[in-house]
Structure 1
Amino acid sequence: MKPKDPIKLGVPQGAALKEAIGAARRAAAKGIKKRELLARVCAVLESPADFADDEVFGALSEALTAHPEAAAARTFQPRESPAPYRIWGAGLEAGAIEQMNHACALPVSTAGALMPDAHIGYGLPIGGVLATENCVIPYAVGMDIACRMKMTVLDLPVSHIRGEEGRLRNALERETEFGVGAGFSKRHEHAVMDADWSVSPVTKKHKDKAWFQLGSSGSGNHFVEFGTLTLEKPELGLAAGTYTALLSHSGSRGTGGEVAKYYSQRAMELHPELPKHLKHLAWLALDSACGQEYWQAMLLMGRYAAANHELIHRAIAKNLGALVLADVENHHNFAWKETHFGKEVIVHRKGATPATRETLGIIPGSMATPGFVVRGKGNAESMNSASHGAGRAMSRTATKNCCSWSQAKRFLAEHDVVLISAGLDEVPMGYKDIHEVMAAQTDLVDIIARFDPKLVKMAPEEPTRRRRGSTKQ
């Protein structure tokens, strides 16, 4: 029996896996065939106590009984009463609320919050905030680990956005690539690639992919755009006024997706006791080898996502010969170790912006509606969180079925937005009213500036995989 065999069955890594391999050696010595061996391992996983005195599987039984995840896996025991959570905003879709209810029933959950941009996701809803004890839930972080916003204020006159539109458009087209599989044949250089990528077998395996995609942007709602930033009073080290700004939204690309898929699957294998409606909320104990692997991989993907934005903004500013006047950036789709309600917890913000008191963040609207630079108020009930955008009013499929490009083009023209490329599922009509979302969270953040998009690039309607060189960084 190879080590991967018991792992696939759900044997936790560490002491339990070691004892499973030992049991396999003892079973082989007794002439037990592999098929029967695997069946017996499954039986031990289902009821370790029944094998406590077994000469072949007794040590595995003891290791499983001692392992916190394995002990929890024998039967699912929800909390006696759901973890408390509060909802911001009105009229949120019932499915998102139901998902939040499920998340707060987990035995590891301690508190939650639902932001006003919330809508259905996998496991935890988008816009969901969940605190857990000593464990991390991969699907509560999300598939696009460390999805990130970054804004750079440039010293270019606002008149350049239309007067020099061709130059700005060329910079967007030249300095990043969009879509699934997009990347650069000529690698960008960044210190993140000197980090320890062996923290997880997944990051180690996909380091070359990550390097190929370094400096690129994702598909779906990811974008890079120019617009105007309006400050009503001095902020960000700038005088009141209107400025040219560059705004980007993207995450950890294909490697982050591979990390999410692998550890979500591992978590589900470790928790076969979870009913179907909770399987995407399976967790990894942080004192387990698998939990530590995921945590370190997640942190690395955070650094990698930040590097992507840094390279994009640096390259575009250099292309235009512009000076950087100010920067603001933040993650969502991440987990943090924080103290809330008197104890350390793991706070998952899936499509939610950190809003600790005085912390700056960016909450975008859509391709043709404003976004906002905000300052957190440190609201304890939201565990220092706010929305991460306007949030979808319709699913992608519904948007494609209900909306047309002719409608979208009229909307874009009315808002003085030039769209370079995007999918129909990203048109503004598919999103909630950003002004209503912001009005619903005045106790979470203060607005300090408004960003209005003017020249927008997203992944094309039918992304194509391309390899090309890049300008020197």
Structure 2
Amino acid sequence: MSAEFNPQMIQVTGGATGFIPAPENKGKPITVIGTKAIRQTFDEKCLEQAMNSRGAPGVTDLVLNPDAHCGYGAPVGCVLVSPTHIYPGPVGVDIKCSMSLLQMDLPADAVVDRGVRRALINAILERTPTGAGRGQRSARKARKVSTVNGEKVLIEGASPVVCAALGIPQEWASRCEDAFHVGHDDTKDALGNRLAYLIAEGKIPNFEEKVIQLGSYGGGNHFGECEVVELVDNQRARRAAEVFGMKDNCVAFLSHCGSRGMGHRLASGQFRTLQEKFERWGIALPGQDKELVYAPLGTAEANDYLDDMAMGANFATVNHLLINALVLEAFQEVIPGVKGQLVYFISHNIARRERVNGEEAWVHRKGATRAFPAGHYSLIDTPYYETGHPILLPGNPQDGSVVMVADSGAEKSCYSVNHGAGRCKGRKAAIRELDQEKVDAGLAKHDILTNCRVYPKDEAPAAYKDFGEVLRSVEEAGLASPVAKLKARFVIKDAELGLRGAA
């Protein structure tokens, strides 16, 4: 590892805080969140990407969260702020990849029986396909989405019309970080015009095939997970849990997915377009990294990206809401009479317009989660103004996940926290190094069922950072406090057809 990109370059300011001087010491340093153990997980490529991103045109702030690791242009687990430029890389190709949590009134002992859990897994898979290219046709009880409704999803997000057409409870839209996104000029007409152009020009091939991925999980690290809620026993946490609608010792369902093939097509199209223009115009790339292309705000290129990002974000929002509606339907089929309410839907791959350092800027969160505490101006006229909104942090099935609420100290990280544990092993390394029997035995020891005959090694808990240390970093840095712990009872992941149906 070179001296230039070494964890020792981090200047420590507290037990879980530090900074890295900006390139050539020009401007605000990079904010680092993480204990000593976590700081050692930031490898050479991660730090190199952080420095390239901080030195990019128009960037005023960069934050490395505890889950940070090498990403697309910018590290996964970073926050990039610019009042003048928009960057596709620090959003990524899975636009608005997100978390959602569905709380049910079902007591925990209702899912103790393995037969019940297996029936629930099967009922969910009949409705919500898994896998990179799979859509409604591979799930016989999926909700059918027409091309016309697919276009409305992209333009309107979780509007009353869209929710009614897809059987999504309309009140769930109020439990979203953003129920819909508008175009570069703050209108949905801009999205309608942009979508019409993209379809007419053949820029979204196989549009119908992408539309029918609504209501489905993708591959990789996307998942659905049945949880048991354990509320933290203090007054603040109990008050927040009450506002969030969480129920102690009851069943909940946690989902992680994004905008599927539609978002990937929109994002990859933008990367190609901007990279071609950079090459044609001879514009220097930050750190000579073609994944750090950008567009100055107000240009046609920026407007096109903002419109495409908004459409991808709308698709991801409705995808999550539809998945939750289908999951609830599956639970009701197996256990009649179950009721469910969305706790929250929150993204971690998005750029949002917010106020930072007293001025309006675009806050790019790449594998980072919004963390607005009580009293934050953005929470005015929402149920969360007096508590802060729910933060959904997935760990891994064995160590569990958490629901948190932001503290006032989140200001130091541009009101953001990590989106999960973060990888400590690449996929190829995990497949090569981890023992399959140990991976499966770990889940069995914790009585966690899955839809996979063998659990994917590249998604095993050992492929991710120590979740306890990650959470300690968040709490010690004063960013957020826990409200509830989530204990996994079963997990749904992408698996080859021949490997499904574990006993």
What range is the shorter-chain TM-score in? 0.7 to 0.9
In structure 2, the residue matched to 1:220 is 220
Alignment of 1:301-316 (within 5 A): 301-316=312-327
1:343 is aligned to 2:304: no
1:110 is aligned to 2:140: no
Query: For structure 1, which segment, 335-344 or 414-423, has the greater mean C-alpha deviation from structure 2 after superposition?
Result: 414-423
Counterpart contact for 1:392–1:430, Cα < 8 Å: yes
Counterpart contact for 1:161–1:226, Cα < 8 Å: no
In structure 2, the residue matched to 1:242 is 249
1:84 is aligned to 2:84: no
Alpha-carbon distance, 1:149 to partner = 0.3
Q: 2:421 aligns with which of 390, 393, 397?
A: 390
| SS, match of residue 108 in structure 2 | coil
Code of the aligned partner of 2:392: I
1:130 is aligned to 2:80: yes
Query: For structure 1, which segment, 178-187 or 440-449, has the greater mean C-alpha deviation from structure 2 after superposition?
Result: 178-187
CA distance 1:172–1:126, shift in 2 (3 Å): same
CA distance 1:81–1:463, shift in 2 (3 Å): farther
Alignment of 1:64-79 (within 5 A): none
Counterpart contact for 2:103–2:246, Cα < 8 Å: no
In structure 1, the residue matched to 2:100 is 150
| SS, match of residue 230 in structure 1 | strand
| SS, match of residue 411 in structure 1 | helix
Code of the aligned partner of 2:329: K
Q: Percent identity?
A: 29
Q: Which structure would you say has the larger Rg?
A: 1
1:125 & 1:376 partners in 2: Cα distance? 23
Counterpart contact for 1:79–1:106, Cα < 8 Å: no
Long gaps (5+) in structure 2 = 1-22, 138-142, 157-190, 333-337, 374-387
1:167-226 alpha-carbon deviations (Å, 9 max, x no partner): 211222112111121101372366525645542444775342332111111110000111
CA distance 1:239–1:122, shift in 2 (3 Å): closer
1:291 is aligned to 2:252: no
1:140 & 1:242 partners in 2: Cα distance? 38
1:260 & 1:226 partners in 2: Cα distance? 31
1:255-275 alpha-carbon deviations (Å, 9 max, x no partner): 101111111122223333324
In structure 2, the residue matched to 1:445 is 480
Q: 2:468 aligns with which of 405, 421, 435?
A: 435
Counterpart contact for 2:430–2:463, Cα < 8 Å: yes
Query: For structure 1, which segment, 292-301 or 396-405, has the greater mean C-alpha deviation from structure 2 after superposition?
Result: 292-301
Counterpart contact for 1:377–1:444, Cα < 8 Å: yes
Alpha-carbon distance, 1:136 to partner = 1.0
Query: For structure 1, which segment, 80-89 or 111-120, has the greater mean C-alpha deviation from structure 2 after superposition?
Result: 80-89
In structure 2, the residue matched to 1:367 is 397
CA distance 1:159–1:188, shift in 2 (3 Å): farther
In structure 1, the residue matched to 2:144 is 187
CA RMSD of superposed structures (Å): 2.3
In structure 2, the residue matched to 1:254 is 261
1:314-355 alpha-carbon deviations (Å, 9 max, x no partner): 112123222114522200110011111121111110000100
| SS, match of residue 89 in structure 2 | helix
In structure 2, the residue matched to 1:199 is 194
1:127 & 1:214 partners in 2: Cα distance? 26
| SS, match of residue 309 in structure 2 | helix
Query: What number of residue pairs does the alignment pair up?
Result: 387
In structure 1, the residue matched to 2:384 is none
1:266 is aligned to 2:273: yes
1:210 & 1:198 partners in 2: Cα distance? 19
Code of the aligned partner of 2:489: K
Give TM-score scaled by structure 1 length.
0.77
Counterpart contact for 2:103–2:247, Cα < 8 Å: no
Alpha-carbon distance, 1:374 to partner = 1.1
Counterpart contact for 1:377–1:384, Cα < 8 Å: no
Alpha-carbon distance, 1:82 to partner = 5.0
1:440 & 1:277 partners in 2: Cα distance? 32
Alpha-carbon distance, 1:95 to partner = 1.8
CA distance 1:155–1:203, shift in 2 (3 Å): farther
2:247 & 2:450 partners in 1: Cα distance? 28
Code of the aligned partner of 1:230: E
Code of the aligned partner of 1:221: N
Alpha-carbon distance, 1:166 to partner = 2.7
| SS, match of residue 329 in structure 1 | strand
Alignment of 1:165-176 (within 5 A): 165-176=117-128
